[in-house]
């Protein structure tokens, strides 16, 4: 069993490949999480404009990306755009797809956070002489982020897990490297190893989330 699924010799041989994949997964996450947050912030700030000409297109935009599978979006960019003469490469496609997809999710979360801050806070801030942008940046957003922190973290976990889609468009992240190693060694060991790496990295985050969610629940009671 160990011989097949966690062969020590194979692990020793492929360790450098897996490590390179890990570095790329970390790098990819460090790029796509801030990009998604930026997209989300834009969505959430636009949502504070209550004009119907902003509201409806924005809602359609968010719902579209909630309905559209991220892998399909990624393949559409990677395999579709070259037909329009635009060849972006796997890494750029992942970045754009994540900006659009996770931006919609982060946007929904941040919007709920902003909604959770009482209007009185904004009125008080404005009455002290802060302009709208200052009130949003210094008063509303910090409280909004605090209120939805568990959801933000949970979405960030999903985004990090989603970077494994990069393997489909040849971005050499963990899963891609594992599949390369698997086809070289004809053994499931690389994939088992990479699953363990993912688990060890993300487990603490899942535990933390579980605890935050329970605390949120307890305070609601």
Site residues (vs another protein, CB under 8 A): 1, 4-5, 63-64, 66-72, 75-76, 79-80, 83-84, 157-158, 161-165, 167-168, 175, 178-179, 182, 187-188, 191-192, 194-195, 198-199, 202-203, 205-207, 210, 213-214, 217, 220-221
Instruction: Answer whether 42's CB lies under 8 Å from 103's CB.
Output: yes
Q: Tokens at residue 121, please?
A: 């806070």
State in angstroms the smallest separation of the CB of 96 from another protein: 15
Minimum separation from the CB atom of position 159 to another protein (A): 11
Closest contact distance (angstroms) between CB of 161 and another protein is: 4
Structure tokens at 189: 């060991």
Q: Which is nearer to another protein, 27 or 191 (CB)?
A: 191
User: How near is the Cβ of 165 to another protein at its closest, in Å?
Assistant: 6
Using the minimum distance from each CB to another protein, give the nearer residue, 126 or 185: 185
From the CB of 148, what's the least distance to another protein, in Å?
13
Locate 15 and state its tokens. 């360790």
Taking Cα atoms as reference points, which of 70, 130, 121 lies closest to residue 99? 70
Place of tokens 């579209």: 64
Q: Which is nearer to another protein, 136 or 160 (CB)?
A: 160
Comparison of 23 and 192: residue with beta carbon closer to another protein: 192
- Quickly tell me which residue has 């579709």 as its tokens: 80
Instruction: Check residue 173 and report its DSSP letter.
Output: S
Cβ closest to another protein, residue 91 vs residue 198: 198
User: Could you tell me which of 195, 190, 193 has the C-alpha nearest to residue 179?
Assistant: 190
**Quick check: 95 and 35 in contact, CB under 8 A?**
yes
Element (H, E) at 216: helix 189-220
């Amino acid at each position: 069993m160990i011989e097949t699924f966690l062969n020590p010799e194979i692990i020793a041989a492929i360790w450098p490949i897996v490590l390179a994949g890990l570095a790329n997964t970390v790098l990819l996450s460090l790029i796509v999480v801030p990009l998604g947050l930026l997209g989300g912030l834009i969505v959430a700030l636009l949502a504070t404009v209550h004009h119907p000409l902003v509201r409806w297109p924005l809602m359609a935009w968010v719902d579209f990306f909630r309905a559209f599978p991220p892998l399909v979006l990624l393949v559409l960019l990677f395999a579709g755009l070259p037909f329009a003469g635009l060849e972006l490469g796997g890494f750029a496609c992942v970045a754009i797809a994540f900006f659009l997809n996770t931006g919609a999710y982060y946007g929904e979360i941040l919007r709920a956070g902003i909604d959770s801050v009482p209007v009185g806070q904004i009125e008080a801030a404005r009455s002290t002489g802060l302009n709208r942008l200052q009130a949003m940046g210094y008063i509303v957003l910090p409280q909004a982020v605090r209120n939805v922190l568990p959801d933000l973290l949970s979405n960030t976990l999903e985004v990090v897990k989603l970077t494994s889609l990069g393997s489909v468009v040849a971005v050499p992240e963990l899963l891609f490297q594992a599949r390369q190693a698997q086809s070289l060694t004809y053994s499931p060991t690389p994939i088992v190893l990479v699953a363990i790496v993912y688990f060890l990295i993300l487990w603490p985050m899942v535990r933390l989330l579980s605890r935050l969610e329970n605390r949120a629940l307890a305070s609601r009671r």
